[in-house]
Amino acid sequence: MNVNDASFEELLNALHDGVYITDGDGKTLKVNQAYERQTGLSGADLIGRSMRELVKEGVLSQSATLRVLHEGRPVSVYGEAPDNASEASEDADSQAGPRYIIRKTHTDQKSAQEAAAAQLKKLQRGKSTMSITRPLTPEIVAEGRLDVRNHRTSANRLWQVESVSHVIGSGGVASSSAECVTPA
């Protein structure tokens, strides 16, 4: 996979973290949509340009990439978000929520891809939900785990219990109902 693959671009744009990729000389290769939203900068204006040039022109206030290239080791750069950075954005499902600018420097494309894939996997956790009602099972507790087996294939897995209610009816019938998500 390289930075121009459609699948790599789709993966990058699925992330809420801003991603800025350069080559070994500090030339901008790619930025994702989250980076554009967070900074107010357009990828079209950055791609192909040198980090040195962008810092010198004041487009960027500083560059972790230039420090990594100069010092030959990973570095952390701290600073305030630019005035034009957005602190919130809308998800694809139109539910607004806070987004935090997190910038991580990767010294090569492979580590950036691995980090992006890991972040996507992390974002996909908790997406599946399940409601289950069964005879009274007091061992099911909120924030606990529920190992489901011998049900339909999509349900057979370990679940994180978000909420549970144990009910004993007037007729002596007892049940436990749980709301679950895939564990984080």
Q: Is the pLDDT of residue 150 over 50?
A: yes
| Cβ neighbourhood burial of 7 (10 Å; 0-12, 13-18, 19+) | exposed
**What are residue 180's DSSP bridge partners?**
130, 161
Q: Is the pLDDT of residue 143 over 70?
A: yes
Q: Is the pLDDT of residue 84 over 50?
A: no
The pLDDT of 103-113, averaged and rounded, is 66
Report d(CA 148, CA 146) in Å as an integer.
6
Q: Looking at the chain, which residues constitute the CATH 3.30.450 domain(s)?
A: 6-124
What pLDDT is stored for residue 46 in this prediction?
93
What pLDDT is stored for residue 142 in this prediction?
87
CATH of span 6-124: 3.30.450
Averaged confidence pLDDT in the chain? 76
Report d(CA 90, CA 103) in Å as an integer.
19
